Chain A
Amino acid sequence: MHLRYTPEQDRFRQEVRQWLAAHVPAEPLPSLDTAEGFELHRDWERTLKSGDWGMVTWPTEYGGRGCDLIEWLIFEEEYYRAGAPLRVSQNGIFLLGPTLMEFGNDEQKSRFLPPMAAGDEIWAQAWSEPNAGSDMAAIRSKATRVTENDEEYYVLEGQKTWSSRAVFAEWGFGIFRTEPESKRHKGLSFILFPLDADGVTIRPIRQLDGDAGFAEIFFDRAKVPVANRLGDEGQGWHIAMATAGFERGLMLRSPARFQKTAERLIDLYKQNKDRVSPATREQVLKAYLDAEAYCLNTYHTASRLMSGGKIGSEASCNKIFWSELDREMHRTAMSILGARAELTGQTDSEADSGYWLDGYMFSLAGPIYAGTNEIQRNIIAERCLGLPRA
């Protein structure tokens, strides 16, 4: 066990730090869930690509740098340290990307990965349906195989919902029932579809913050080539679970994000310490310690994976830990802000209340998306502890 960076890792950090210092926009961008903000965030993705920073862990042939997980964590630390914009491409680069790497064929990888890393194609996910939330195996949207002019297609019918980024993105990925009468986890396939295809209708949904961060997607006999299926027909559930594993495991939420929040919370506390209670001080310290613990756990997992280990159901612990930490930190900030907590930040420049309010609202989504924390606790109990299913 050796918990120091190597000289090479230090040099890599300096390279990232210098590049970001020269390129990160001086002013924060508007919300990526607005039309203007979305395109500005896409521009930022293109800027990242110009420096080959789109997705550092990918092989160079797909627009990456072939970095290992420790280098990825270093990149993320510098990214949050520099206050760089949120990744509008996160559904693609963090979720679908690793899934394509594992289950995609060569054509699919070279077709989809480079524009994903470049921000030219932004991806939305399409898992949930109105009657398939936590019970995702209850999905009913179907894909029927047809042949027209010697070409094979899937005809998509049904409805998806809570589809993040779908309002402005180019592509979607989701699972559909390809075997007609199939039940539950069987007979599902993982299919990629253009969001502007004929028969695809997007209805934006206004989220808690007022922006259309997600949408419903309606499929009315939308046709996509069979080549858009990832993996084998009927393998959809298995692939979706791998994607969910990436989501809950290392990739989606790197520790730097929460360490940055903890750092800001400490500053907020210091500015207000004469008027808040001692209990708040302990909450702030706990936030710092837990963000550190999340970082340590992530490096621990990364080391294990780099020496040949696999990420398993314990990924569910990660998701619980970061989402509850995030909510805790933002709730503490809201309580420190007191009567200013309700301000949107649009009209009050003295407090960074808008920042904490937005963050608090988003933190409430954390224990819900990527599989609710109740579902994660079931997974831990059943797969890590071996308790019986109900």
Chain B
Amino acid sequence: MDFTFSQDEIDLRDGAREYFRDRCTPEVLRKLVEKNSADLGSWSEMLEMGLVSFLVPESAGGLGMSNTGFVLLAEEAGYVASPEPLIDVAGVAAPVLASLGNEAVDQIAAGTTRVVTAHSLNPYVNQLQPADKVLHFMGDAVSLIDASDIEVDAVESIDPLRRLSKIVSAKSTPVASGDEARQLAAAAASRGALFTAAELIGLTAAMIDMSKNYVVERKQFGVAIGTFQAVKHHLSTAFTKLEFARPVVYRAAATLSDDDEHTGLHVAHAKIAAGDAAINAAEAAIQVHGGIGYTFEADLHLFMKRVWALTGLWGDRNYHMNKVDRAVFDRLSSLGPAETFQSAGNADDH
């Protein structure tokens, strides 16, 4: 029983943190918004750092790292509100393609193509560029489709750094069908929900930090508003929810590859806990910012709007709460003390 990250995971996280916070600053994001662009142009750099092929097996040219390690990367990407589709490509599409032995995974690792996802849980594709491919999970088929073979309508998100497309029609050739396709779609959904939860954790931490900085600077009644208990308590509550959501997300990452009856429940819990923490932090953040928080002049809106989008992706709160409901009332035979983790004995079953 060990809840700590490996030194490798920590080192890679630290490297990614330094890179993201240097490359994707709020100033850079504001400039993109002013130019009406959502393309940070950092894909080749992330590729070079190994972030894109983080979960791709070493045999296919990747780093062969763990889901727990990728959760830390997703947190860092969330902390800077990176608009790049890293979670989609590296967290979902690449490992699913790798499990199929599909050659597109080599192209992702080599940087010759990007594969974003379309999934029945998500009504829109984000950040689809002309040279991309789409890994398309619909019903009983999984298809890999060139962007040029897809007809899309653009739809507008309130988040200026998301670029959404609604697929109108596509010329698809399935790479998997029937039960296999359904399993792949479920695996993709688990990955998407888990890493989106991690991204939400990062966004939550960022909103708490920017609020903290603001209430130390902003003076009213002659003092920093951060001295007022009413202001402090909003942020303390947000911080507490963050502290208690994090281990839930880490547990879901550590047990994702078990792929057993508990996986769906663990992922659902992670998405709910991270989403609730993020919404709470966003509301606390705008409250302590006051009027400036309601404008494009503060950075907060970029983070808050991302939270609104991500809480609904890869299964919204209702979807995941229904999963918890089925587990608690129909499936789990025991759920009191001593049932949170598996015994060593059960490990042999896997």
Contact = CB atoms under 8 A, between A and B. Distances in A.
Interface of A: 1-7, 9-10, 13, 70, 74, 76-78, 80-81, 255-256, 259-260, 262-263, 266, 270, 281-282, 284-285, 288-290, 292-297, 299-300, 302-304, 307, 314, 317, 320-321, 374, 376-378, 380-382, 384-390
Contact of A5 (B1, B240, B273): B1
B8 to A, nearest CB: 12
B247 A300 contact: yes
B336 A262 contact: yes
Given A1-B68, A70-B1, A77-B337, A289 B344 contact: no
Contacts of A293: 244-245, 247-248, 269, 273
Given A4-B341, A293-B269, A388-B224, A300 B3 contact: yes
Nearest to A74: B338
Interface stretch (B15-23, B195-203, B208-216, B296-304): B208-216
Interface stretch (B91-99, B109-117, B174-182, B249-257): B249-257
Interface of B: 1-6, 66, 68, 208, 212, 215-216, 224, 226-229, 231-233, 235-237, 239-240, 243-248, 250-251, 253-255, 269, 272-273, 321, 324-325, 328-329, 335-347
Nearest to A256: B337
Contact of A1 (B2, B228, B233): B2
In the complex, the 7 A-B pairs of residues with the closest C-beta atoms, listed nearest first: A381-B232, A263-B336, A303-B3, A256-B337, A377-B236, A380-B236, A300-B247
Contact of A387 (B68, B235, B269, B346): B235
Given A78-B338, A282-B321, A385 B239 contact: yes
A371 B212 CA distance: 24
25 contacts: A1-B66, A1-B254, A3-B1, A3-B3, A4-B1, A4-B347, A5-B1, A6-B1, A7-B344, A9-B1, A262-B335, A282-B321, A289-B273, A293-B244, A293-B269, A299-B247, A300-B247, A303-B4, A317-B244, A320-B240, A380-B236, A386-B212, A387-B232, A388-B216, A389-B227
B269 to A, nearest CB: 6
Interface of A is mostly: helix
Nearest to A80: B337
Contacts of A384: 236, 239
Contacts of B329: 266, 270
Contact of A385 (B1, B2, B3, B235): B235
Nearest to B5: A1
Nearest to A264: B336
Contacts of B339: 259
A256 B338 CA distance: 8
B336 A259 contact: yes
A289 B272 contact: yes
A388 B217 CA distance: 11
Contacts of B345: 7, 10
Given A321-B240, A385-B208, A266 B335 contact: yes
A314 B343 CA distance: 29
Contacts of A299: 1, 3, 247, 340-341
